[in-house]
Structure 1
Amino acid sequence: MRHRLNSPLRPAGRRETYPGTSCRLPRPGTTMAAGMAAAAATTLRLPVSSVVLVILLLGSSAMMPIVILAAVIAFIVSERLPAGSAMA
């Protein structure tokens, strides 16, 4: 039995033609930096200082937009939570 080359199950072309593989996910280092910034912004309640701290610790400004976004979202969520919502 011979397979057709351009069937729906096997699209022609490169690997990016499959659904879900054309999007690029952030590298593990970027997600680690975003987590560090989010944790620092939540704990210190200083989102700008936490972004600067993470960028200086890791030494790479290539991930700055993701780090800023993570810090700001974490800060806003921590400010919006009620005062007694901490789990003990």
Structure 2
Amino acid sequence: MRALADPTRRDIVARTMREERSVGDLAAAYPMSFAAVQRHVAVLEEAGLVVKRPAHRHRFVRARPDALDEVQQALSDLRDQWHERVERMHDVLDGGGER
């Protein structure tokens, strides 16, 4: 999930959902160096959110929608856990919980 904390990385995933894009094409879309975009792609690849395919002198990137489903499920589970904790805190503060 750390990989998706950065807005540039979220945008790279969004741009590569429907079709693969070369790292060069992605780099042209951002006000940063090619190397910085490469680092963002590397973080996403390490997290398993994108795959990179070499073709001649280019590297093509494609998002892995199945990995995003896993992230969505993990976030949903965390949300549910926090809702339960907040409810228990409300119970304690209202005098209905045990100490």
Fold conserved between structures, TM > 0.5: no
Task: State the TM-score, normalizing by the size of structure 1.
Answer: 0.37
Task: State the TM-score, normalizing by the size of structure 2.
Answer: 0.34
Larger Rg over CA atoms: 1
Which has the larger share of strand? 2
Which has the larger share of helix? 2
